[in-house]
Structure 1
Amino acid sequence: MLITDDFLPVPVPETLSATYLVPTSTVPGTTPAQAVAALAGRLSGPVHDLARQMLDSPLMTVDTRPVSEFPHLPPDLLTAFGATEEQLGRLAAATDLVVVQATYRPGWPPAHEWAARTVAAAMAEVVGGDLVDVFGLQFLDPATALRSLPDDEGRMRLVDWVLVPYSSDEEGLWFTTKGLRRFGLLELQAQGVPAHLTRAWGAVMTGTARRLLRTWVDGLTDEEVPAFVQLPVLTAVTGHDIAVAYGNPERHDATGPALLRLELDPATDPEADSFLSLRPPSGHDGPAGRYFAAVCATVFAAAQSDVRYARPGDAMARAVATARSGLPKIRERFLDGGLPAEAQLVVKYGLPTEEGPEFVWAGVTDWSTTDRIHGVSASDAAADPTIRIGEPVVIDTCDVVDWALLDGTGVVEGGWTQAVLDGGNHP
């Protein structure tokens, strides 16, 4: 294998395994094969066939064991990853666990995961309960688990398999992925992410995971499992990567690309995980957080710099009037926590220039007073050198001409003036 400064050799594990649990207080009266057969027509043919083949092979085991024989599952971590009180209650009351385990070689398809999740979902339906993804420490109801499996063309949403938790440290937010190890790849991490980028950076991490996973799988196509796969040190991520990872490829143009540098951070503790760290490219001046803000602005079209001047006309006037009439309501939703999950509020406001106002976007961080908005610039302004990506800004509400809600795939609400500038159709 040729080693260069342009690529990072990442070790490949010999085998991968998946474990799912189904808590129950009654011994199932249906065999796993019968339960999987009952799923015919409810999931793709290839996955259905894969599950049945794995069940008939030594690569999968399905056992019912007393709860006392299995390591304790921490309820605090299960809660952190979305477990409800009802699910935790059923787990606490369970006397037995249906344990589904599968192993497979690294590569595509990830047969161990797809087959084990299928069988566990089938058994959960039999006992009228949920399944626990041990890798992700996450409860799944059977319907959700089955929806996460790929369709007839092998397409799946990466967000159903890879989570992006974060926590605070002295430098800002620390993001990691949890799920790439299912496929043999090291998890990603990023440190020093500004707090106002919580939702946007989570989407960038997911899109980057999707891009790297494709490269990883391409390196595992040989019949023999290699010792290493080379990943590019400079990795590009686009809005399309994010949209595909969220299962909405039609909702985002191929914006970007934005570059991120990969760096291997090996664990010093043999019990801890190693990471692939996302950092700014070499030679970047300034804190990493500012570069991360620039990446978010690049991959989200609605947050890009808009150095186009609003042309007069009825369409633009109506767009501004519509946006401004909605400001009181969107402020109320922002303050009350009534925005959609994973949505970020951005506003568009005008900066005076000799040619007319230059319009830029900013992410809203505080709107406690009606006439003043505190935020963080989502773009560099041409007219004002003090307004730079990632820098704090204070905006008079009277200067706002538009607002939008963004999620990991683009604009989900608002953006009326942008639609006019872009030529017509509302986003």
Structure 2
Amino acid sequence: MTITDDFLPVPVPETLTATYLIPVLGQPADPARALAGLGPRLAAPVRDLAEQMLAGPLLTVRTAPVSELPHLPPDLLAAFGAADDQLARLRGASELMVVQGEFRPGWPPAHEWAARAVAAALAEAMGGDLVDVFGFQFLDPDAAVRSLPDEQGRIRLVDWILVPYSDDPDGLWFTTKGLRRFGLLELQAQGVPPSLTRAWGAVMTGVARRLLRTWTDKLGEQDLPAFVQLPVMASVTSHDIAVAYGNPERHDGSRPARLRLELDPATDPEADSFLSLLPPEAHRGPAGRYFSAVCGTLFGDERPEIRHTRTDEAMVRAIATARAGLPGVRDRFRAGTLPEATRLLVKYGLPGPDGPEYVWAEVTSWLEPERVLGTSASDAANDAAVRTGRPVVVDAAEIVDWALLNGARMVEGGWTQAVLDNG
């Protein structure tokens, strides 16, 4: 392999392992029988793959006492979206069924597809859920089945990776969590402007899709290479983003945006190494300025997202549902009983020439039911005083939605957002 300045050599692991856990509250289910029961709902290629691996040495299923397995911290599971009833079932279980698949890097990721299919079948047979140990997430059987590939082998990458973010001295620090399922290093970007929170999560997902395709294409050879050369300058298009979200027909054919890759190896053997996304070396100025230009290239004029409510029945129901839950979420906020590490945001309307502009604000105080104190989560187009991080006072009568966020992930609420995202 020839190493040049145009390519970045990324090491390839010899094998990959997927692990899923299923709480046992009664009798453990038989894996083969459970898979046969789920079979009609699986695409034929996945069903055949799961059956073959279950019958061979590459996929194992065992039942073990909880005391013999690594501890699953409930607060961390809750931070990644676990519901109270799921945590209760986990606490009530003395045994767990452990499903593990092992395979070489490449496409298809047989270890993940087969292990998740078998785990979903067992969870459904026992009337419970499965825990994806890699993502540290609970999945109900239906969600697990929906995430598996269709008859053409297509998946939504967003069902397999997360894009969390946290505060960084120069803005926000974004990472991916899920690319290691496929043997690829996780991505990171630092110094992202808070006003790009939503857009940059989509950019990271699109870049992940583009790099994953390059990665698996180069692993298609008979002999597994020690390294794969990824281009130092990675391109991403709106099509990459649309495919990653499962909507390949919904992209505007925008010009590609380019980001530089740099290997950031971990100094701690227990920590992760990353592929950092950076501006080109010729860029002068803060990285956030270039990231804004990337979003402008991919999504058009990089102004804040301006959302005007639709008047259809789905949106009316979404607003009504959100508003009905406002008293309850306010009580939880004031009592300090919201899930750990979550933030409460509310969506409200600002007057504009074309109708109300809807923006989000993070709640900091809610002493009076009719008035919310917070900080703006985005810049408003129609009100120059509403800027990311600045204090705002929100009239509760103008609130149309609320959401609990853990990092970049919406774990509760967001009904109007779901309607908008689903078109």
Pick closer, same or farther for the CA change 1:366–1:303 going to 2, 3 Å. Answer: closer
Question: Mean Cα displacement is larger for which, 162-171 or 47-56?
Answer: 162-171
Q: How does 1:196-345 map to 2 (within 5 A)?
A: 196-301=195-300, 303=302, 324-327=353-356, 330-331=357-358, 334=360
Partner of 2:3: 3
**Aligned amino acid, residue 283 of structure 1:** A
Question: Shift of residue 92 of structure 1?
Answer: 1.1
What SS does the aligned partner of 1:87 have?
helix
- CA–CA separation in structure 2 for the residues paired with 1:4 and 1:127: 54
Tell me the number of residue pairs that the alignment of Structure 1 and Structure 2 aligns. Answer: 336
Partner of 1:89: 88
- CA–CA separation in structure 2 for the residues paired with 1:276 and 1:229: 13
What SS does the aligned partner of 1:92 have?
helix
Instruction: Indicate conservation of the 8 Å contact 2:46/2:114, yes or no.
Output: yes
Cα deviations by residue, 1:155-205 (Å, 9 ceiling, x for unpaired): 000000010111112121111100000000000001111111111101100
What SS does the aligned partner of 2:191 have?
strand
Q: How does 1:7-156 map to 2 (within 5 A)?
A: 7-28=7-28, 30-156=29-155
- CA–CA separation in structure 1 for the residues paired with 2:132 and 2:175: 18
Question: Shift of residue 91 of structure 1?
Answer: 0.9
What SS does the aligned partner of 1:182 have?
helix
Question: Shift of residue 366 of structure 1?
Answer: 5.0
Pick closer, same or farther for the CA change 1:304–1:240 going to 2, 3 Å. Answer: farther
- CA–CA separation in structure 2 for the residues paired with 1:40 and 1:271: 39
**Aligned amino acid, residue 67 of structure 1:** V
- CA–CA separation in structure 1 for the residues paired with 2:242 and 2:352: 26
Pick closer, same or farther for the CA change 1:146–1:372 going to 2, 3 Å. Answer: same
What SS does the aligned partner of 1:283 have?
coil
What SS does the aligned partner of 1:89 have?
helix
Partner of 1:383: none
Question: Shift of residue 141 of structure 1?
Answer: 0.3
Instruction: Indicate conservation of the 8 Å contact 1:102/1:112, yes or no.
Output: yes
- CA–CA separation in structure 1 for the residues paired with 2:170 and 2:127: 46
Pick closer, same or farther for the CA change 1:38–1:151 going to 2, 3 Å. Answer: same
- CA–CA separation in structure 2 for the residues paired with 1:202 and 1:325: 28
Instruction: Indicate conservation of the 8 Å contact 1:23/1:129, yes or no.
Output: yes
Cα deviations by residue, 1:285-331 (Å, 9 ceiling, x for unpaired): 100011111111111136489xxxxxxxxxxxxxxxx983521xx44
**Aligned amino acid, residue 124 of structure 2:** E
- CA–CA separation in structure 2 for the residues paired with 1:302 and 1:194: 16
Pick closer, same or farther for the CA change 1:371–1:57 going to 2, 3 Å. Answer: closer
**Counterpart check, 1:374 vs 2:395:** no
What SS does the aligned partner of 2:82 have?
coil
Partner of 1:180: 179
**Aligned amino acid, residue 71 of structure 2:** H
Q: Kindly, what percent of the aligned residue pairs are identical?
A: 67
Question: Shift of residue 251 of structure 1?
Answer: 1.2
Partner of 1:169: 168
Question: Shift of residue 270 of structure 1?
Answer: 0.9
Cα deviations by residue, 1:248-282 (Å, 9 ceiling, x for unpaired): 11111221211000000000011111100000011
- CA–CA separation in structure 2 for the residues paired with 1:323 and 1:371: 8
Pick closer, same or farther for the CA change 1:304–1:4 going to 2, 3 Å. Answer: farther
Partner of 1:395: none
**Counterpart check, 1:365 vs 2:378:** yes
Instruction: Indicate conservation of the 8 Å contact 2:31/2:122, yes or no.
Output: yes
- CA–CA separation in structure 1 for the residues paired with 2:222 and 2:40: 32
Question: Shift of residue 336 of structure 1?
Answer: 9.0
Question: Shift of residue 218 of structure 1?
Answer: 0.8
- CA–CA separation in structure 2 for the residues paired with 1:278 and 1:60: 35
Question: Shift of residue 374 of structure 1?
Answer: 3.3
- CA–CA separation in structure 2 for the residues paired with 1:86 and 1:244: 33
What SS does the aligned partner of 1:106 have?
coil
Partner of 1:190: 189
Question: Shift of residue 27 of structure 1?
Answer: 2.2
Question: Shift of residue 113 of structure 1?
Answer: 0.1
Query: Any gaps of 5 or more consecutive residues in structure 2?
Result: 305-350, 364-375, 391-416
- CA–CA separation in structure 1 for the residues paired with 2:211 and 2:137: 24
Pick closer, same or farther for the CA change 1:374–1:153 going to 2, 3 Å. Answer: same
Pick closer, same or farther for the CA change 1:208–1:366 going to 2, 3 Å. Answer: closer
Question: Shift of residue 43 of structure 1?
Answer: 1.5
Partner of 1:157: 156
- CA–CA separation in structure 1 for the residues paired with 2:419 and 2:90: 39
